[in-house]
Amino acid sequence: MIEVPPEMSQEGEELNRVQHDFTERINTAKNQAQQPLEDAFPCLVCDKLMLRFEQISECSFCGKAETADYQCPDGHYVCEECRLSTAEQLVKNTCKHTKETDPSKIANLLMKHPAIPMYGTEHHYLVSCVTLAAMRNLGLVDIGPREFDKAASLAKIPPLGSCALWGACGAAIGVGIAFSIAMSVGIMSGQNRSLVLNLVSETLREISKLGGPRCCKASVILALDVAKRFLTETYEVKFDETKHSCEFADQNLTDCPKERCLLYHRSCAG
């Protein structure tokens, strides 16, 4: 049974017709799976087949409601603006909109978008912005678009490869930037300055356990684990403690160490 998301819900016959039409299209597409499907694409979010579907839908990234063109059976839709946007626009728009309180979930969603490449400085500001968004949604900080702009502009400074060139991964620095903004830390600050320094060094220690070659996805995952651990210890925030395996290993055709990575198989609680 295909679930129709609430924003698509219509009453009575219309709903049935929409559901029926969608199911038919999915089934037809599955039956023709060996033939080229010019009009069907795997969903960016869940990988199920997206088909042409012209109803009002909400963007899974920025939340904008508009008439959809492609949508998957789980109701995932990516708006035209998000599909065309730069990585920075995408990250900021998603973080401004999201209601998600787990930064890892926001990061995982963003990293599935094709605007975010396998490697790159995009991951640095992604960490800052998703951490701030989650803290805002947890009621820990009161921030607006300006803070996301500031986080992104600061986190863009570490260059590609800063992990190796500086000994400081941009994702770890991204954690420091997020907490620095959230706690209004400046060079004259006392305890909070120590706190952000400690967070960055703790994140770097975690990332250093990965060894090589560099992996921006793994760095983001570990950086956010540290940020969440701090939020739990300091603010008693409860996160889902399941440690999911990396979802990006199959897409990384060149450098992923697979079994040798500590994130490749970690489907265990806590």
Partner 1 sequence: MCGISGLGMMCRILEYSADDARINEAFEEAMILARHEEQTLDTVRIWQNRKTVVLSSDGDARASLDEDACKNNGVVIVRRASSGRVMYQDQGTLNLTYVIDQKSFFPDTDSLTEVHKRLWKPAADVISKLSADVEVPAYGKDLIIDSGRVAQAWIRFYHNLMLFQLSINVHANLGALKYVLKHEDRYTNLRRELSNSLGMDDIKRALIDSTARQFGVSFQEQNPSPAEKRLAGRLFEVKYSKDDWNFAGKAPLSLRDVLVEVYVAYPPTRSCREIIENIRSATRDLEDRVELRIWMRGKGLDGKGSPPGVPMSSALIDASKKSIIPAIIINGEIAFSRHVASAEDLRDKILQTLGRKV
Choices 75-83, 150-158, 187-195, 219-227; region in contact with partner 1 by CB under 8 A = 75-83
Smallest gap from Cβ 182 to partner 1, in A, equals 28
Distance of CA 189 to the CA centre of its chain: 31
Residue nearer to partner 1 on the CB measure, 112 or 228 = 112
58, 69, 147, 206: which one binds partner 1 (CB under 8 A) = 69
Residue 65 found at the interface with partner 1 (CB under 8 A): no
Residue nearer to partner 1 on the CB measure, 114 or 211 = 114
Residue nearer to partner 1 on the CB measure, 113 or 228 = 113
Nearest Cα to Cα of residue 56 among 107, 116, 7: 7
Residue nearer to partner 1 on the CB measure, 50 or 185 = 50
56, 65, 84, 157: which one binds partner 1 (CB under 8 A) = 84
Smallest gap from Cβ 136 to partner 1, in A, equals 26
Smallest gap from Cβ 153 to partner 1, in A, equals 17
Here the tokens at position 152 are 């992104």
* Residue the block writes with tokens 């400690």: 198
Residue 183 found at the interface with partner 1 (CB under 8 A): no
Cα–Cα distance for residue pair 6/172, rounded to 1 Å: 38
Residues in the chain: 270
Residue 70 found at the interface with partner 1 (CB under 8 A): yes
| Residue 176, CA distances (Å) to 55, 204, 240 in order | 42, 11, 23
Considering all CA atoms of the chain, what is the largest pairwise distance in Å, rounded to the nearest integer? 65
Choices 2-10, 23-31, 112-120, 161-169; region in contact with partner 1 by CB under 8 A = 112-120
Choices 110-118, 130-138, 196-204, 227-235; region in contact with partner 1 by CB under 8 A = 110-118
Element (H, E) at 187: none
Residues of span 43-62 touching partner 1 by CB under 8 A: 44, 50
Residue 117 found at the interface with partner 1 (CB under 8 A): yes
Cα–Cα distance for residue pair 105/262, rounded to 1 Å: 19
Choices 114-122, 179-187, 190-198, 212-220; region in contact with partner 1 by CB under 8 A = 114-122
- β pairing state of 70-71 and 242-243: unpaired
Q: What's the sign of the alpha-carbon dihedral 91, 97, 101, 106?
A: negative
Helices assigned H by DSSP within 37-157: 80-84, 87-97, 103-111, 122-137, 145-155
Is-cis flag, bond preceding 213, omega within 30? yes
Residue nearer to partner 1 on the CB measure, 111 or 168 = 111
Burial class (CB in 10 A: 0-12, 13-18, 19+), 34: exposed
By rule CB under 8 A, what count of residues binds partner 1?
Answer: 16
Residue 123 found at the interface with partner 1 (CB under 8 A): no
Cα–Cα distance for residue pair 43/27, rounded to 1 Å: 16
Smallest gap from Cβ 61 to partner 1, in A, equals 13
The residue ranges that bind partner 1 (CB under 8 A) are 41, 44, 50, 69-70, 78, 80, 83-87, 113-115, 117
